[in-house]
A and B are shown apart, each in its own frame.
Chain A
C-alpha cells in the first residue's frame, strides 16, 4: 500500500507511527503476515513431511524415525506396496477412477456451463439449483443415496468400479461448472460475436473460438479433478464392492487400527502420482496461456 503523502515529522514520530500501525492493524504490516504465513505452511506441511519420512522406516513402528529402507515400497515380499496385491490394486483402482472421472466429467461440466450460461429459458434456474445443490450437499448423503440406488434400484450398475465412477462424476460436475462459469464470465460474449460477425455459424464460433479459449480452464479442471478424485474417500468406501475396488484412501482407512509404515508408503505413492500430474498440467497451462495478457479476471475490450 502506498503511504499517504505527508510532511516528515521526524524519526521518533516515525517510530511511534510504525508501532501504532503495527498494533492498530496487524494485518497491515507484511512482517507479521509473513511470519504467520510461514507458520501456516509449516503447520500444513510438517505432518505430511513426517509421514513421508516414516514411510521409510525399516520396522513397524511409526512413532520415531528409525532409519532408511524401501521395505514398505518394494522390499517386503508380502506386505510392501509393490508386492501386496491388495495395495497394488488400490493404486491401480485409484488411478483408474481418477482418470475416468476427470475425462468424463470435464466435457459434461464444460457443456453444462456453456449451456447454462446462455440458456435463459424456463427450467434453467431449477437445473442450476440442482447442480449447485450437488456441490454443497455433504458427500455422505450422496454416497448413502447412491448406495441404496445401486443395491436396490439400479442393481445392474451395482457396487464397484462403475458405481464409484458414477458417484464421483455426479459430485464433480458442479466443480467443473463453477470454474468454467467463472471463466466464461470473464470472457464475455464478444469473441463469439466477432466470429459470427465475420461469418461463422454458431457451431463454428463455438468450436473454433470459444472452446480453445476455454482450454486452459478445462485443463485446470482436469488436473484438479484428477487430484481430488485420487484421494476421495466417502464415495469410494461406501460404494466399494471388494478389495479389487478399494482405493488408496479406503486402504489407509482400513489400516487405521493397525498402522504400519506401508500406509504411509501408499499415501506417498499417491502424492507422487498427483504431483506429476499437477506439474505436467501446470507446464502445459503455462505454455498455452503464454499469449494471454496477465490478469485472468479482465476481459479485453472490443474495438
Chain B
C-alpha cells in the first residue's frame, strides 16, 4: 500500500536545528522535529487493544473451527497448533455451502440477494434525502438533521418492533392501504415474506447510507455547481457530471457500510419473518453458538464469511485512501 510521501522524524534535536539526516520530506514538516517514538506511542494503546481483542480473537475462531469436541458434552476445545487441526468442520461447512442442497447454501445466496437489493434500495431512497439535506434544506437544516438523527437515538430493536406492530394483519399499515383502496384483503406482511425483510433492512440501515452521502454532498462547493451551469450545462447534466462523481467515494462508502452491516444481520429477519424461506447466513452463525456440537461449524462459517468480505473491504480501503489524498481540505 503506497502512502503519501513524508519526512521521517529525525533524531531528537532542539526545535529549529537543521536536520542532519533526512529523507524526502513534505513542506509541512519543515522545521518541526519529534522523537521517532513520539507518534507511534500515541497509537500504542489502541493498537494493543485492537491486537488483543480484534486480531487475536480471529485466531481463536480459527482454533475453534479446527478444534476438537469434548467427549462427554460436546463442548468445543480450541486447538492452537496448526499441525493438529481437524478439518472435519471445515469440510462439512464447505460442502454445505457449495452443494445446492447444503444447509448453508440457500441462506448464503439469499443473503447476497437481500443485501444487494436492500443496499441498492438504500441508495435510491437515501440519496435524494441526503441531497436535499445538503443543498436545499436552507434554514430548516438543523430541523431535518435532527429528524434524520433521531432514529439513531432509538434502539434498532425498538424501531423494528414498532414495525412489527404496524405490519400485523389488522395493523395500521394494512388499514391505511385499505383506506387508500390499494388492497382489499389484508396482506400478511409478517408471514415469512422476503419483501418485508428487505424493506426492514432498508429501514434499519438507510441512515448509514445517508450519513456519508450527506457529508460528501455538503462539501461540494456551491461554486463548482455554479461554474458548471455557467458553462452551459443543464441541471440534469450538472447533476450527472459534477454532483454524482463528486459523491462517488461517498456512495462507495455508504454501500460498503450498509452492505457489510447487513451481512451480519440476523435479528431483522427473526423479527419480521423468522421462517425457513427468509433465513440468512447470520442466523446460522448465531444459532450454532447455542448448541455445543455445532460451535466449530459456526466458527468456520464466521471465518469463511470474513474471508468472503475481505475483497470488498480492501477495495473500499484502497479507494478511500486514494480519495483522501486528493481531498481538498
Contacts and interface: CB of A to CB of B under 8 A. Distances in A.
A–B contact via C-beta, under 8 angstroms: yes
Given A147-B289, A170-B54, A264-B158, A33 B60 contact: no
Given A114-B42, A144-B298, A256-B164, A228 B152 contact: yes
Nearest to B172: A50
Interface of A: 1-2, 4, 21, 24-25, 27-28, 30, 33-34, 36-37, 40-41, 43-45, 47-48, 50-51, 54, 62-63, 108-109, 111-112, 114-116, 118-121, 123-125, 127, 129-134, 136-142, 144-149, 152-153, 166-167, 169-170, 173, 177, 185-186, 188-189, 192-193, 196-197, 199, 201-202, 224, 227-228, 230-231, 233-234, 238, 248-249, 252-253, 256, 259, 263-264, 266-267, 270-271, 274-275, 278, 297-299
Given A130-B54, A152-B60, A185 B129 contact: no
B225 interface: yes
A24 B234 contact: yes
B53 interface: yes
B285 interface: yes
Contact of A259 (B47, B154, B164, B238): B164
The 4 closest A-B pairs by CB, nearest first: A138-B264, A115-B42, A267-B158, A145-B57
What band does the interface of chain B fall in when counting residues whose beta carbon is under 8 Å from A?
A: 35 or more
Contacts of A25: 234-236, 239
Given A36-B129, A274-B153, A112 B47 contact: yes
Scoring B155, B239, B261 by chain A CB atoms within 10 A of each residue's CB, the highest score goes to B155
Contact of A112 (B7, B42, B155): B42
Interface string B152-164: 1111111101111
B306 A141 contact: yes
26 contacts: A21-B235, A33-B136, A36-B132, A37-B128, A37-B136, A50-B162, A108-B49, A115-B39, A119-B43, A133-B313, A136-B257, A137-B309, A139-B264, A141-B302, A144-B286, A145-B54, A145-B58, A145-B61, A152-B64, A153-B56, A170-B50, A189-B28, A233-B157, A234-B264, A266-B158, A299-B329
Given A140-B282, A169-B49, A227 B132 contact: no
